[in-house]
Chains A and B, each alone.
Chain A
Amino acid sequence: MMIGDALIVSAILFTIGVVGVLTRRNAIILFMCVELMLNAVNLSFVAFAKLHGVGGHVFVIIVMTIAAAEAAVGLAIVISVFRHFGAVDLQNLKLLRR
């Protein structure tokens, strides 16, 4: 089994997600980048489950549940930001900086 190769794919996907979070300004795409990072971590869990037993699969399922909760709350925040500013641009969220 190519556990090392799966870990490399996971590392690359995670880095793509991090760079996306740091460079994009659209809040919805930012949340999708976070989902991509969670998916990359899930791939590591499944790869390591080959070595350490089925607990990794359980953790993947729990991570998916938390991701669903995070997406629901995050998108509710995006909706309320859009109601307030009329855009999903993160540059608008500077009220606390003054």
Chain B
Amino acid sequence: MTPFYRFQFYLFALMAIGAALLFVTRKSPVSAALWLVNVMFALSGLYVMLDAPFVAAVQVLVYAGAIMVVFVFVVMLLNLGRPDQLPDLREAGARIGAGVIGVVLLANLLAVRRETFPVVELAPPIDNVVLPVAESLFTEYLLAFELTSIVLLVAIVGAVVLAKKRATV
């Protein structure tokens, strides 16, 4: 565990948390979406540091590249008006409840941290980063893979049906 690795790890972690805080406090959906893209880039850096370069590439391509584009596209499509006219926060009771739930959840999740995890060294660099993932995906998890394709098909049909203009409303 070199100091350089440690520094990079905490840098990406702080980037992710800071960008997430900025994301959740923005009022305009577009700036929130761009901060969320920032979170996803920082997370893909963390994936590289955790020996998952293929997942990092997919994260940038699919999440930052495709899903967030859909979000920004919908924001542009809807013509929501100026940010100061947008709905922002729920009433005070819901906010206090959310704060309490957030603190309890964080305490719960951090309690898991009291478990000590074994120290695993960085794997030596390998040439083919896709092969282990692909082998596992197409043998052990083949059923999940096929079911995912059915879910995607249903989602496409559902999205088209839901977003279509109805003749009579």
Chain A positions within 8 Å of B, measured between CB atoms, are 1-9, 11-20, 22-26, 28-29, 31-33, 35-36, 39, 42-43, 46-47, 49-51, 53-55, 57-62, 64-73, 75-80, 82-84, 87-91
Contacts and interface: CB of A to CB of B under 8 A. Distances in A.
Interface residues of B, number: 86
Given A11-B110, A22-B97, A36 B36 contact: yes
Given A11-B110, A16-B21, A54-B132, A88 B80 contact: yes
B67 A23 contact: no
Shortest Cβ-Cβ A-B pairs, 9 listed: A22-B98, A69-B155, A11-B109, A89-B87, A76-B162, A76-B163, A25-B87, A76-B159, A19-B102
Given A13-B17, A75-B70, 14 more contacts: A5-B9, A5-B10, A11-B113, A13-B39, A15-B109, A35-B36, A35-B67, A42-B55, A43-B43, A46-B55, A51-B120, A55-B136, A68-B67, A80-B162
Nearest to B98: A22
B13 A5 contact: yes
Question: Taking each of B23, B78, B141, which has the highest tally of chain A beta carbons within 10 Å of its own beta carbon?
Answer: B78
A98 to B, nearest CB: 19
Nearest to B103: A15
B interface secondary structure, majority: helix
Contacts of B101: 18-19, 22
Contacts, number: 237
Interface in B61-100: 62-63, 66-67, 70-71, 74-75, 77-78, 80, 86-90, 94-95, 97-99
Given A9-B46, A11-B110, A54 B133 contact: yes
A46 B43 CA distance: 10
14 contacts: A2-B9, A6-B13, A14-B109, A15-B106, A18-B102, A19-B98, A24-B24, A28-B75, A31-B71, A55-B140, A62-B141, A77-B162, A84-B169, A91-B87
Contacts of B99: 19
B36 A26 contact: no
Given A57-B133, A61-B58, A61-B137, A19 B24 contact: yes
Nearest to A64: B62
Interface of B: 1, 6, 9-10, 13, 16-17, 20-21, 23-24, 26, 29, 32-33, 36, 39-40, 43, 46-47, 50-52, 54-55, 58-59, 62-63, 66-67, 70-71, 74-75, 77-78, 80, 86-90, 94-95, 97-99, 101-102, 105-106, 109-110, 112-113, 115-122, 132-133, 136-137, 140-141, 144-145, 148, 151-152, 154-156, 158-160, 162-163, 165, 169
